[in-house]
């Protein structure tokens, strides 16, 4: 894989246009390095550059699903894992947007999690296909 | 990277551009994978005396990212995608060079900083302190275009030069001079090319 491609793939990690932004957000949230991320996706580390430079899926549900399937096939990665990554990144974007909105009026946001009685906590529940990717 | 009209490569490039316009998610990688290295290599060959070859890579990246952010800036009917990207990358490189020169002209020499042997740097040998902001905010403005005020014909000539066109008649056609005798065509085309070269050199680039 070209060094230049790798460099550009890193450069666009803050650019929401590219899938690189979703991969970076997910990796940060799970504290994964490239090896861990590739393992979660079921691909070689070298395939991450290909994924990073694809366009981040967006749009309505059908368009989103079709884009995910196309990227997964193109990059040779697990479609379910890829979906989990993008959905996590989208959720994180939503939280950031909410935080930014409430910060403007001077009010902070407190988040609290509480275990439901008789069930696992949210933290303990694994996301689909998550087992391989966990660092722990 | 020849994308001569009617060639398979040209058809592929047009198809790729159409896919990008349809938000095809993998077309972005295909564009970058196909053009990034050749574009950066081409810039390095055009500007072999640059102090920092990474500037060529950055300019190539900038050109591809700019296209992706504004796909309609490229008109397939006007020139090949390869020709468009070379023109765009050359402009980005020259803007980077200009920015480097502006930055360099504001750097203070290390001799301007006096480090007192006593605790605290509260005495300066000279009044100038490198960290002082200047009033000139030109670095914050958008980079100026490489060659301004080009006529559409001059743009076509530049595109032909970028594409490595050697035939005088091609330039003569672009300039509307195809009816002139061959010797006059050659002289007129040479004048236009020399003028464009000089304007590019003043902008910091060259062939």
pLDDT per residue of chain B (207 residues) written in tens, 0 to 9: 778 888 899 999 999 999 999 999 999 999 999 999 999 999 999 988 887 879 999 999 999 999 999 999 999 998 999 999 999 999 999 888 888 777 766 666 666 566 655 555 554 444 444 444 444 333 333 333 345 567 777 777 876 776 667 778 778 877 878 778 888 888 888 888 888 876 765 554 444
* CA pair distance B160, B80, nearest whole angstrom: 10
- pLDDT of res. B143: 37
Contact A94, A100 (CB under 8 A): no
* CB within 8 Å: B25 and A57: yes
* CB within 8 Å: A57 and B24: no
- pLDDT of res. B200: 67
Residues A17-58 have pLDDT tens digits of 999 999 999 999 999 999 999 999 999 999 999 999 999 999
| Tokens standing for residue B13 | 């490039």
| Tokens standing for residue B92 | 């980005």
- pLDDT of res. A121: 46
Q: Which of A2, A3, A4, A20 to mutate to test the interface with B (most CBs of B within 10 A)?
A: A4
* CA pair distance B51, B95, nearest whole angstrom: 15
Residues in chain B: 207
| Residues B130-165: b if buried by 16+ CB within 10 A, e if exposed | eeeeeeeeeeeeebeebbeeeeeebbbbbbbbbbee
Which contacts of B74-78 are long-range, i.e. CB under 8 A and separated by 24 or more positions?
B74/B17, B76/B13, B76/B14, B76/B17, B78/B159
| Tokens standing for residue A97 | 């947007």
Q: Is the pLDDT of residue A9 over 80?
A: yes
Any idea what DSSP says for residue B78? T
- For the question of an ipTM over 0.90, the answer is no
User: Hey, is the C-beta of A50 within 8 angstroms of any chain B C-beta?
Assistant: yes
* CA pair distance B142, B203, nearest whole angstrom: 16
Q: Is the pLDDT of residue A136 over 50?
A: no
Contacts of B23 in chain A (CB under 8 A): 55, 59
Identify which of A5, A19, A70 has the shortest CB distance to residue B33. Answer: A5
Contacts of B65 in chain A (CB under 8 A): 12
Q: At what angle do helices A79-104 and A19-30 cross, to 10 degrees?
A: 80
- pLDDT of res. B51: 75
Termini Cα distance of chain A: 30
According to DSSP, the residues that pair with A18 across neighbouring strands are: A55
* CA pair distance B153, B173, nearest whole angstrom: 10
User: Hey, is the C-beta of A71 within 8 angstroms of any chain B C-beta?
Assistant: yes
pTM above 0.80, yes or no: no
Contact B51, B97 (CB under 8 A): no
- pLDDT of res. A118: 56
Contacts of A11 in chain B (CB under 8 A): 61
* CB within 8 Å: B29 and A17: no
- pLDDT of res. B42: 94
- pLDDT of res. B134: 43
- pLDDT of res. A103: 62
Residues A77-129 have pLDDT tens digits of 999 999 999 999 999 888 887 777 666 555 555 556 666 655 444 444 444 44
- Give the list of residues 6+ apart from residue B188 with CB closer than 8 angstroms, or none: B172, B175, B177, B180
- Nearest of B152, B142, B150 to residue B199 by alpha carbon: B150
């Amino acid at each position: 894989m070209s060094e230049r491609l790798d460099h550009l793939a890193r450069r666009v990690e803050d650019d929401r246009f590219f899938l690189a932004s979703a991969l970076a957000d997910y990796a940060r949230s799970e504290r994964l390095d490239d090896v861990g991320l590739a393992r979660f996706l079921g691909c070689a580390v070298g395939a991450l550059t290909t994924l990073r430079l694809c366009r981040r899926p967006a749009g309505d549900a059908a368009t989103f699903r079709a884009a995910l399937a196309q990227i997964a096939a193109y990059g040779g990665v697990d479609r379910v894992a890829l979906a989990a990554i993008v959905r996590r990144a989208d959720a994180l974007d939503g939280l950031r947007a909410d935080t930014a909105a409430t910060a403007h009026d001077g009010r902070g946001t407190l988040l609290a999690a509480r275990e439901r009685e008789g069930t696992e906590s949210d933290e303990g529940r694994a996301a689909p296909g998550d087992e391989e990717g966990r660092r722990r | 990277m020849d994308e001569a009209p009617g060639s398979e490569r040209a058809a592929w490039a047009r198809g790729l551009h159409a896919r990008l316009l349809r938000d095809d998610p993998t077309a972005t990688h295909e564009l970058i994978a196909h053009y990034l290295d050749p574009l950066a290599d081409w810039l390095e060959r055009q500007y072999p005396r640059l102090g920092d070859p990474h500037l060529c890579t950055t300019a190539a990246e900038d050109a591809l990212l700019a296209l992706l952010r504004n796909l309609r800036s490229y008109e397939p009917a006007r020139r090949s995608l390869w020709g468009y990207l070379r023109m765009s990358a050359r402009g980005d490189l020259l803007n980077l060079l200009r920015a480097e020169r502006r930055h360099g002209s504001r750097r203070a020499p290390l001799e301007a900083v006096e480090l007192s042997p006593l605790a605290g740097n509260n005495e300066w040998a000279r009044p100038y302190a490198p960290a002082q902001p200047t009033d000139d905010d030109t670095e914050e403005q958008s980079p100026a275009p490489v060659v301004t005020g080009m006529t559409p014909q001059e743009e076509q000539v530049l595109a032909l030069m970028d594409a490595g066109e050697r035939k005088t008649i091609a330039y003569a056609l672009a300039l509307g001079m195809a009816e002139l005798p061959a010797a006059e065509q050659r002289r007129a085309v040479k004048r236009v090319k020399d003028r464009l070269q000089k304007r590019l050199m003043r902008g910091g680039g060259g062939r």
